[in-house]
Amino acid sequence: MKFGVNAWVWVSPLTTEGVAELAPKVKALGFDWFEVPIEGTGDIDYARAGQILRDNGLGVSVCAAMGPDRDLIHPDKAIRDNGMAYLKHCIDAVRTMGGTNVVGPLYSAVGRVWQMTDEERARDTDLLVQQLRELATYAGDKGAVLGVEPLNRFETSFINLASQVVEVVDRVDHPACGVMLDTFHMNIEEKSLGAAIRAAGKRLVHLHACENDRGAPGSGNVTWGEVAAALREIGYDGPVVIESFTNKVQSIARAAAIWRPLAPSQDALAQDGLKFLKQLLA
């Protein structure tokens, strides 16, 4: 397994200069993977960022930031088209940096919730499958992989469960479209974290290892023993990435509802979480 950390632990938005500052820190903390969230499409020089990460011996993935104007199933076609263009940008970016995985809620804007009839859900699911099939073909041709992530009910009303994302991914039926799971969201929505991981099975391409309060993994009430056992059972050997946020950056704090420090410092959150995960999974 590769153990990583998302730049949102420290900064938002991430820039080229942020990559240069964080990469040696992340390596010194003991990580071997760095996750790049792409907020503005002009924030990062991907060729330079990739070289910085290689110089520090770090693998890389891209985390998509699905805002109100990036939504693959929105009623407004212009917003759908913008979401598709953005995700193709993310695919190009991860390949330029030397990675493969583009992960996140690759279907709708984070925070958009709406009530659906069964017929409306079926219609939107059909649309999503069509959109993801096009993106998976684009990704596969470039050597990239999509990881589609369920979110909790407060951040989306569309895909909350592993079973729901498995249904979509199986319908897309493309080797470049897989599942990403996040223990923070799973801890809210799933009856059993282990059962959810086993349901994803070989489709699981990426894991966010996050505590129930977004603090350091191992410091809260996530059923980590169950997580570890299920990962071993399915033979998972992909990236395990800590995703958290800082209350010092107002924009991301509001978006992720981070109203207080979750650890003595952001470095401590990352380092303590890494130590726990290595003991649990390595």
Tens-digit pLDDT profile for residues 232-269: 999 999 999 999 998 877 777 787 888 899 999 999 99
- The reply to whether 243 belongs to the active site is yes
The pLDDT, as a whole number, for residue 254 is: 81
- Compute the distance between CA of residue 92 and CA of residue 41 in angstroms, rounded to an integer: 11
Say which of 149, 155, 190, 211 is annotated catalytic.
149
The pLDDT, as a whole number, for residue 219 is: 98
Q: Which domains does the chain have, with CATH numbers?
A: 2-281 (3.20.20.150)
Tens-digit pLDDT profile for residues 117-142: 999 999 999 999 999 999 999 999 99
Tens-digit pLDDT profile for residues 161-180: 999 999 999 999 999 999 99
- The reply to whether 149 belongs to the active site is yes
Residue segments in the chain with a per-residue pLDDT below the cut of 70: none
* Phi–psi pair at 37, nearest 5 degrees: -85, 135
Tokens of 141: 């041709």
pTM of the model: 0.97
Q: How many CB atoms lie within 10 A of CB 60?
A: 25
- Compute the distance between CA of residue 272 and CA of residue 244 in angstroms, rounded to an integer: 13
Give percent helix, percent strand, percent coil of the chain, each to the nearest 5: 50, 15, 40
- Compute the distance between CA of residue 163 and CA of residue 269 in angstroms, rounded to an integer: 31
The pLDDT, as a whole number, for residue 256 is: 85
Say which of 35, 155, 190, 243 is annotated catalytic.
243
Instruction: Determine contact, residues 193/187, Cβ cutoff 8 Å.
Output: yes
